[in-house]
Amino acid sequence: MFDTALRQLRQGLAIATGRRIRPGDVAALVQHIRRTHAEFGRLDHDRVMEAMGRVTDPDVRAAADARHWRRSVTTAYRHTVYYRRLFDRLGIRPDELSLARRTELPLTTKASLRALPEAFVSDRSEPVLQAFTTGSTGTPTSCWFSAYELDLAAAYSAMYWLMTAGLGPADVLQVCVSSRAALAVSTTLRAIGMVGAGYVQTGVIDPAETLARLTTPVHLPGKKPRVSALTINPSQLAALVGQAERDGYRPHDFGLELIGCGGEVLSTALAERAERTFGARVQDTYGMTEAFPISGQNCSAGHLHFGAEQGLIEVLDPVTAEPAAPGAVGQLVVTPYPPFRETTLLLRYATGDLVRVLTETPSCEMAGQPATSPLLGKAEFSPTVRDLRLYQRDVLELLERQPAVPLPVRYQVAAAADGFDLHVLGPEDDPALVARLETHAAEHDLPIRKIVLHDDPAALARPQFVRALLRETVATRNEETGTWMLR
Ligand SMILES: [Zn+2]
């Protein structure tokens, strides 16, 4: 029964041509799964993943993609100022731009969307929420969403928490992403409500305060005795791991079972340290405001898999914009499909996120869903010199493996003609640490010439951005002096 429902949902998404998914149908499925939970206990995680990852017939998928693409193009042309002008200027007729000819349409850049977000809003939509990205790459970009899109996002999110993450009504989720991330916060709040679990909004606050809340008993009827799940950006997770290691916390101090990460590169080194520190499973996901409802999920083999029904995913050479070959690195370019996306319409949107094209067909539990390597980093955080590139992931894997480097790691890359110099915030008087880092860099063939440690944060004039910097302050009153302090 459960398998059938899932299959119907996936098939429905894959082959629907003009039909809008009704959020109520997804919500009803969520309730159905909750009842299954209540009757048979926890869902078998492997069975869920297998059902979700089941292979769709390639011909069926190709036909669905072609239909979805055509609809995306004609809708964007008819209903947005940006694409109407672009097509007219280039002399492209929308009804002739088939999926096979898509490369005739130039990529839509973040700069275009940022410059004039309203030009991408469909004139037949009813926008109700402007969601800003949290601005990891400069000025925030924004997208408008309709009530329908928000309902759908909540229903999808509930499915994720219930089935993939395995949350149930007894769980308590602490949300440690920025409270300004409107789409993520509102969606998760509503989704957790559907699941029946507890929701605690903490935001990005002092790591010591976050740890205190994680260890505080929860005295609620029907709920687990402590916070059981956490959702957080990797750099803020790094801050928590660093603080917990310094303060001597042990896994039994927490009641955590799951840590859900997203929004940044999560290194294997950090995931393993977090699992050791908190005694919880760490799950990595991919998502960005502009790409909604396209999302990605990391499998046990370390691939990044995408829900193919929700949009077109291309991996293109960062320079030529031609499809990247197997084994090569390219940037993710996404086209979220109507009718799931109806307000801010985007065709071939360049995310700037780099991944490697797989050389072999995956045989993992999610083999049915298209996959790439895990996220290698943002293009602008992965500098190049001639044909050398230093990926954000490689730097994080290098630094986050060393307990002597403070978390979250702060670093700056200086390019030279024959490679990169890596300046890192860390103990200057530890030559053994530098030696360990340089050995690791050499063993992994990283284009690093030298590594310099700095005690003083001021020595790094342009350090790498991390979301842990989006700190939300808490006002505390000094009882003796009566003054207020922000920390
Ligand atoms: Zn996989």
The token duo for 428 is 């200057």
| Measured distance CA(113)–CA(131) in Å, rounded | 13
Q: pLDDT confidence of 19, banded at 50, 70, 90?
A: low
Does the pLDDT value for residue 163 go beyond 90? no
pLDDT of residue 243: 97
Query: Mean pLDDT over residues 290-302, rounded?
Result: 91
pLDDT of residue 447: 96
pLDDT of residue 136: 60
Query: Mean pLDDT over residues 276-283, rounded?
Result: 96
In angstroms, how far is CA 476 from the centroid of its own chain? Answer: 33
Q: Read off the pLDDT of residues 299-358 as tens digits, 9 standing for 90 and up.
A: 999 999 998 778 999 999 999 999 999 999 999 999 999 878 999 999 999 999 999 999
| Measured distance CA(272)–CA(177) in Å, rounded | 21
pLDDT of residue 14: 41
Instruction: Map out the domains of the chain as residue ranges.
Output: 381-403+411-463
pLDDT of residue 17: 43
**46 compared with 164, residue with greater pLDDT:** 164
Among 86-90, 133-137, 234-238, 250-254, the least confident range: 133-137
What's the 246 CA to ligand 1 centre distance in angstroms? 35
Q: What's phi and psi for 452, nearest 5 deg?
A: -120, 130
14-17 contact pairs (CB < 8 A, 24+): 14/56, 14/60, 14/61, 14/64, 14/308, 14/309, 15/60, 15/64, 17/67, 17/71
Query: Mean pLDDT over residues 68-94, rounded?
Result: 97
Does the pLDDT value for residue 2 go beyond 80? no
pLDDT of residue 10: 52
What's the 49 CA to ligand 1 centre distance in angstroms? 11
| Measured distance CA(15)–CA(449) in Å, rounded | 52
Q: Read off the pLDDT of residues 172-191 as tens digits, 9 standing for 90 and up.
A: 999 999 888 888 999 999 99
Q: Read off the pLDDT of residues 27-75 as tens digits, 9 standing for 90 and up.
A: 777 777 777 767 666 556 566 666 655 666 778 888 889 999 999 999 9
The token duo for 65 is 């993609």
Spatial neighbors of 149 by CB under 8 A, at least 6 apart, are 292, 293, 340, 341, 342, 343
Q: Read off the pLDDT of residues 348-359 as tens digits, 9 standing for 90 and up.
A: 999 999 999 999
What's the 300 CA to ligand 1 centre distance in angstroms? 6
What's the 14 CA to ligand 1 centre distance in angstroms? 20
What's the 370 CA to ligand 1 centre distance in angstroms? 9
* C-alpha triplet 41, 42, 44: angle, nearest 5°: 125
Count of CB atoms situated within 10 Å of the CB of 450:
15
What's the 359 CA to ligand 1 centre distance in angstroms? 13
Does the pLDDT value for residue 378 go beyond 70? yes
**61 compared with 242, residue with greater pLDDT:** 242
pLDDT of residue 309: 79
pLDDT of residue 197: 96
**470 compared with 278, residue with greater pLDDT:** 278
What's the 54 CA to ligand 1 centre distance in angstroms? 12
Q: What percent of the chain has pLDDT over 90?
A: 70
Q: Strand (E) positions, 29-171? A: 127-132, 142-146
What's the 170 CA to ligand 1 centre distance in angstroms? 30
| Measured distance CA(80)–CA(416) in Å, rounded | 44
Q: Which CATH class is domain 381-403+411-463?
A: alpha beta
pLDDT of residue 15: 40
pLDDT of residue 331: 97
pLDDT of residue 54: 60
What's the 388 CA to ligand 1 centre distance in angstroms? 28
pLDDT of residue 441: 97
What's the 146 CA to ligand 1 centre distance in angstroms? 33
pLDDT of residue 106: 97
What's the 355 CA to ligand 1 centre distance in angstroms? 14
Q: Read off the pLDDT of residues 96-141 as tens digits, 9 standing for 90 and up.
A: 999 999 999 999 999 999 999 999 999 999 999 998 876 565 678 8
Q: Read off the pLDDT of residues 383-429 as tens digits, 9 standing for 90 and up.
A: 999 889 999 999 999 999 999 999 999 999 999 989 999 999 999 99
Q: pLDDT confidence of 487, banded at 50, 70, 90?
A: confident
Query: Mean pLDDT over residues 379-384, rounded?
Result: 92
What's the 310 CA to ligand 1 centre distance in angstroms? 18
- HEC string for 141-208: CEEEEEHHHHHHHHHHHHHHHHHHCCCCCCCEEEECCCCCCHHHHHHHHHHHHHHCCEEEECCCCCHH
pLDDT of residue 42: 57
